[in-house]
Structure 1
Amino acid sequence: MNELTEAGKLYCANCTTPLEGEFCHHCGQSVHSVLKPVHHMLEDGMDMFLHVDGRILHTLPPLLAKPGFLTLEYFAGRRQRYVAPFRVMFVLCLMAFFAAHLAVGERPMVFGDDAVQVDVDAFKQARTPAEVDQALQRELAHLQPVRNLPAVGKMAASDIQEAERKLRKAAAKRRAELGDTSIVLLGPATAGTSGANRPGAAHRPDDPIKLLAQKPVQIRWLPDFINQRLTRAAKRLSDNLDALDSGGERAADAQERLISQLFSALPQTMLLLLPLFALLLKVVYLFRRRLYMEHLIVALHSHAFLFLSLLLVVVLTALKGWLQPHAAWLAQGLGWVRLALLVWMPVYLLLMQKRVYRQGWPMTIFKYLLVGYCYSFLLGMVLAAGFVWTLAH
């Protein structure tokens, strides 16, 4: 008669707990040894990569196309097949800002490609040289709002000068078409230049930043080391603004350095906004009796979607610009896809808020607008603070 022999019991090498599987249920240590041949290590690494990749494939499509799905799955306890909310948000945040930084290029624009718009066709309707000069005055006046913005006008100075050059060239061409050979157009002084391009603007005696940098900061209720750091920050802020105002290679180097520092500070800025956004949701939905952690998960998935959308918008914009000279019809199609994605972003957030918190449409829309307004204000404040912090370093 055959007899069954019981196999020997295995014990955890770390805590000596009897094992019931490949992992110790007491301390979590694996039964497999780390001392193994190299080809086994490669196999384990490939398995881990494929496992993570599988979770990404289960996470990104619903994150982009199914508002609130991942959040509700997480609340229901079905979490293993998806990437954790903080991890997916953080990775997409880094990728989105990295792609945006690359898209900005060596000649960054603060407002984007359409920041400094000029209408070179404004002179076609002019019938006399005087009308050409009047049209030039009007177009140059349109550049003033950008030029007068603090710090931003300095960073966009090269773009403003390029726009002004195009306007003067178009005006000169129209005057030549009208038969006027005495091309005496308005110079920078009579065109109303001010701010970053006015001589000595950065050295005005009443400049508050200059006055702050000339003497040490002394706030009585702050420790001395903080006052010293504030003094150094004010000095660096003044130096950076002077570099941006100087023009030439020095201004280009300062602009590139500041843009790089700004993009490196944006991920930390967004991490600061996450708990504030979750707290805002907690206040708005105070009577829904949800934990703060639940609102934080909503905030993580919302921001992960926004960063994924931003990444796709940057990629579509780059592809559109690359394809425009070669396949204009395909570039136009990518433009429509980008527009659809931009429209989908606010709609997605509204549907997500409706599905997660399960309130009627009137109350959902009201709270959606309230949260959006408050969050936009917080975002503007934090980004402004981050911009000033970048100038001070």
Structure 2
Amino acid sequence: MKKERSIMQYRGETCLNCHLPLDLSDQYCPNCGQLNSTKKLSFKDFFEEFFSGVFAYDSRFQRTLRVLLFRPGKISKDYINGKRMRYANPFRFYLSASILFFLLFGLTVDLNNSNQAEVDFEDQPPIFAPGLPDAERDSIRELIEENSLDSINKVLSQRGMDSIKSLPLSRIQDSIETEADSITENYLDNYVPQSEIDTMHFWNANKTRIELYSAFLDQTRIRNSEIAIDSLRHEHSAYNHWLYKKVVDFDTFKEEPNLFINYFVSKLPFIIFFYLPVFALFIWLLYLRRPFNYMEHLIFAFHTQTMFFILYGLAILVKIIIDSNWPVTAANFIFLFYLYKGMRFFYGQNRVKTILKFLILNLIFFILAIIAAIISLLASFSIY
């Protein structure tokens, strides 16, 4: 397609992109690199140019993947030495690999945890065991009308349907009434007016708000913050509304944890993307006497993490196919060996120094990973 568009009859004397004067012998603009052609685009030109770009990227992609897999540390060394056109950009390549990895990872996470649904006694009659006298049936139905459905559901979730069937009527009545009373007592016991909260220290005030909002939500099941804050006669501040919404979110995640897991996993590629620069800072400190600047350590960290995603992504694929955990176990040992070889080649130190720094680096990685995970979980929950 480019050959057709670059023939002499379509060449111009000015670059259409940067307006640099050109000779008819110039096939490309020496300033911006655009093809020297005045031919109008057709549908054929558009699609051919699109696929040409894809295949051109694939060529670099295949070369990058091949070197990354079988030559630990070489791609990073080539890149910092200026051999960059032959390889894909390390940051874009990392993002592509991480997104594919977490898509595969999502297939292996068991997100089908069935949660206890609220029980409607009109639709779920098994509690009325066969042979139960009519008088006792009527008594239980009166309990349903007198007590909140939430208290009955809590009794069912705590004891289980089968154990409830075997209980006498008096025990069922006591359990439901006790649960209903405890919900009311919890809400009343935790009630604190806004004026009193305003006099507390920050942490005590937050603890009091959370306890109160949780008790109120448990009793009333009101999820709208406007209604809840108004009912509690608290100030309609942005912080009060945000805190009540977080209490509601936490209650939702307790019932359906897969919602937050899905949300958090979807953000992990970007969380790790911002975590790696911090990790690269510690690599720089560890190799302070070596002739590498911070950016060169960062490139090595991105290439290594990309290899991690590729290796474990392949392990997950094999695990899905054969339904066994040994591919992931094998990937652990392969990656550790790969990391050692990569450090040895990239930094050019002897075996003893490389092994020692390898152990220190892994310790630093796990400590930072734990800290980053805690911060990321809190941040993800706060903006959910």
TM-score for both structures, normalised by structure 2: 0.62
Residue in structure 2 matched with residue 347 of structure 1 by the alignment:
337
Matches within 5 A, 1:175-254: 211-213=208-210, 231-245=240-254, 251-252=255-256
**Post-superposition offset of 1:300:** 1.1
**Post-superposition offset of 1:18:** 2.9
Give distance in 2, aligned partners of 1:316 and 1:237. Answer: 39
Structure label with greater radius of gyration: 2
Q: Is the 8 A contact 1:350 1:365 kept in 2?
A: yes
Give distance in 2, aligned partners of 1:101 and 1:33. Answer: 48
1:288 partner SS: coil
Instruction: Flag the 1:350–1:43 CA change in 2: closer, same or farther, 3 A.
Output: same
1:56 partner SS: helix
Residue in structure 2 matched with residue 311 of structure 1 by the alignment:
313
Q: Is the 8 A contact 1:306 1:345 kept in 2?
A: yes
Q: Is the 8 A contact 1:93 1:267 kept in 2?
A: yes
Give distance in 2, aligned partners of 1:369 and 1:232. Answer: 47
Instruction: Flag the 1:108–1:285 CA change in 2: closer, same or farther, 3 A.
Output: farther
Give distance in 2, aligned partners of 1:32 and 1:319. Answer: 51
Give distance in 1, aligned partners of 2:336 and 2:381. Answer: 32
Instruction: Flag the 1:34–1:60 CA change in 2: closer, same or farther, 3 A.
Output: farther
Residue in structure 1 matched with residue 66 of structure 2 by the alignment:
61
Q: Is the 8 A contact 2:73 2:346 kept in 1?
A: yes
Give distance in 2, aligned partners of 1:236 and 1:34. Answer: 58
Amino acid at match of 2:249: N
Cα deviation, 1:239-288, whole Å, max 9, x if unaligned, reads 2333344xxxxx13xx1211121112212211111211221111111111
Matches within 5 A, 1:275-354: 275-321=277-323, 336-354=326-344
2:339 partner SS: helix
Give distance in 1, aligned partners of 2:362 and 2:268. Answer: 20
Matches within 5 A, 1:353-364: 353-364=343-354
**Post-superposition offset of 1:310:** 2.4
Give distance in 2, aligned partners of 1:375 and 1:244. Answer: 29
The one of 10, 15, 22 aligned to 1:18: 22
Q: Is the 8 A contact 1:73 1:79 kept in 2?
A: yes
Residue in structure 1 matched with residue 125 of structure 2 by the alignment:
none
Residue in structure 1 matched with residue 231 of structure 2 by the alignment:
none
The one of 364, 373, 384 aligned to 2:363: 373
2:295 partner SS: helix
2:21 partner SS: coil
State the Cα RMSD in Å: 3.5
Residue in structure 2 matched with residue 169 of structure 1 by the alignment:
none
Give distance in 1, aligned partners of 2:300 and 2:354. Answer: 15
The one of 372, 375, 379 aligned to 1:382: 372
Amino acid at match of 1:46: F
Instruction: Flag the 1:268–1:34 CA change in 2: closer, same or farther, 3 A.
Output: farther
Cα deviation, 1:138-193, whole Å, max 9, x if unaligned, reads xxxxxxxxxxxxxxxxxxxxxxx9xxx9xxxxxxxxxxxxxxxxx9xxxxxxxxxx
Cα deviation, 1:315-345, whole Å, max 9, x if unaligned, reads 1221122xxxxxxxxx6xxx55443322101
Q: Is the 8 A contact 1:59 1:70 kept in 2?
A: yes
Matches within 5 A, 1:59-138: 59-107=64-112
Give distance in 2, aligned partners of 1:108 and 1:64. Answer: 37
Q: Is the 8 A contact 1:17 1:26 kept in 2?
A: no
**Post-superposition offset of 1:16:** 2.6
Q: Is the 8 A contact 1:85 1:297 kept in 2?
A: yes
1:273 and 2:275 matched:
yes
Give distance in 1, aligned partners of 2:113 and 2:38. Answer: 52
Amino acid at match of 2:53: M
Give distance in 1, aligned partners of 2:75 and 2:58. Answer: 17
**Post-superposition offset of 1:49:** 1.5
1:22 partner SS: coil
Query: Tell me, which stretches of 5 or more residues in structure 2 are unaligned?
Result: 1-8, 115-156, 161-165, 167-181, 191-202, 214-236
1:107 partner SS: coil
Residue in structure 1 matched with residue 260 of structure 2 by the alignment:
258
Give distance in 2, aligned partners of 1:48 and 1:16. Answer: 24
Residue in structure 1 matched with residue 197 of structure 2 by the alignment:
none
**Post-superposition offset of 1:66:** 1.9
2:22 partner SS: coil
Give distance in 2, aligned partners of 1:309 and 1:238. Answer: 39
Instruction: Flag the 1:67–1:34 CA change in 2: closer, same or farther, 3 A.
Output: farther
1:287 partner SS: coil
**Post-superposition offset of 1:92:** 0.6
Amino acid at match of 2:247: S
